[in-house]
Amino acid sequence: MKIEKEQILVENQQQTTFHNESFDFLGSSLDKRGVDVEEVVQRLADFQVAIPSWALGAGGTRFGRFSFYGEPATLEQKIDDVGVLHALTGTAGAISLHIPWDIPEDYKAIRERAASHGLIFDAVNSNTFQDQKDAKESYRYGSLSNRNEAVREQAIQHNLDVIKIGEKLGSKSLTVWLADGSNFPGQDNFQTALLNTEDSLKKIYAGLPEDWKLFIEYKPYEPNFYSTVIQDWGTSFLLANACGEKAYTLVDLGHHLPNTNIEQIVSTLMVKGKLGGFHFNDSKYGDDDSTTGSVKPYALFLIFNELVYGMQHNPQNPYPAWMIDASHNIKDPLEDLIQSLEAIQEAYAKALLVDQEQLKVAQQQNDVVQCQEILQNAYRTDVRPLLERARLQMGSALHPLMTYRSLQVRDNLIKERGRHTVATGL
d(CA 348, CA 345): 5
| Exposed e or buried b per residue across 385-399, where buried means at least 16 C-beta atoms within 10 angstroms of its C-beta | bbbbbbbbebebbbb
282 lies in the site for ligand PSV, by CB under 6 A:
no
CB atoms within 10 A of CB 50: 24
Binding-site size for Mn ion (CB under 5 A) equals 3
98 lies in the site for Mn ion, by CB under 5 A:
no
End-to-end alpha-carbon separation of the chain, Å? 24
252 lies in the site for Mn ion, by CB under 5 A:
yes
* Binding partner of 68, given Mn ion, ligand PSV, none, CB within 5-8 angstroms per partner class: none
d(CA 270, CA 268): 6
Which residue in the shown chain puts its C-beta closest to ligand PSV?
177
Positions 231 through 260 that interact with ligand PSV (CB under 6 A):
252
Nearer to ligand PSV, 120 or 426 (CB): 426
* Binding partner of 342, given Mn ion, ligand PSV, none, CB within 5-8 angstroms per partner class: none
325 lies in the site for Mn ion, by CB under 5 A:
yes
* Minimum CB–partner distance for residue 394 and Mn ion (Å): 27
Give the x-and-dash track for 160-189 against ligand PSV (CB under 6 A): -----------------x------------
Residue 4: exposure state from Cβ atoms within 10 A (0-12, 13-18, ≥19): exposed
* Minimum CB–partner distance for residue 77 and ligand PSV (Å): 19
Q: In what order do the strands lie in the sheet with 213-217?
A: 120-121, 94-96, 50-52, 321-324, 275-280, 247-252, 213-217, 173-176, 124-125
- List the one residue from 77, 125, 182, 421 that touches ligand PSV (CB under 6 A): 125
Question: At 287, phi and psi to the nearest 5?
Answer: -80, 70
217 lies in the site for ligand PSV, by CB under 6 A:
yes
* Minimum CB–partner distance for residue 135 and ligand PSV (Å): 18
- List the one residue from 263, 287, 336, 388 that touches ligand PSV (CB under 6 A): 287
Residue pair 66/60 in contact (Cβ under 8 Å)? The answer is yes
Between β-strands 227-228 and 181-182, what pairing exists: parallel, antiparallel or unpaired? antiparallel
* Binding partner of 54, given ligand PSV, Mn ion, none, CB within 5-8 angstroms per partner class: ligand PSV
The residues facing 214 across adjacent strands are 174, 247
* Binding partner of 287, given ligand PSV, Mn ion, none, CB within 5-8 angstroms per partner class: ligand PSV
- List the one residue from 19, 279, 350, 384 that touches Mn ion (CB under 5 A): 279
* Minimum CB–partner distance for residue 281 and ligand PSV (Å): 8
Between the alpha carbon of residue 149 and those of residues 40, 111, 131, 154, 201, the distances in Å are 52, 36, 17, 9, 14
Q: Please, which residues have CB within 8 angstroms of residue 102's CB and are 6 or more apart in sequence?
A: 53, 54, 75, 78, 424
71 lies in the site for Mn ion, by CB under 5 A:
no
Nearer to ligand PSV, 125 or 381 (CB): 125
336 lies in the site for Mn ion, by CB under 5 A:
no
Positions 45 through 84 that interact with ligand PSV (CB under 6 A):
54
Positions 310 through 369 that interact with ligand PSV (CB under 6 A):
325
- List the one residue from 219, 256, 274, 417 that touches ligand PSV (CB under 6 A): 219
Residue pair 317/273 in contact (Cβ under 8 Å)? The answer is yes
Query: Dihedral of the CA atoms 113, 118, 122, 128 (nearest 10)?
Result: -30
Between the alpha carbon of residue 360 and those of residues 303, 364, 365, 372, the distances in Å are 18, 6, 9, 12
Nearer to ligand PSV, 98 or 399 (CB): 98
* Binding partner of 417, given Mn ion, ligand PSV, none, CB within 5-8 angstroms per partner class: none
Residue pair 72/56 in contact (Cβ under 8 Å)? The answer is yes
Residue pair 120/94 in contact (Cβ under 8 Å)? The answer is yes
By CB under 5 A, name the binding residues for Mn ion. Answer: 252, 279, 325
By CB under 6 A, name the binding residues for ligand PSV. Answer: 54, 125, 177, 217, 219, 252, 279, 287, 325, 426
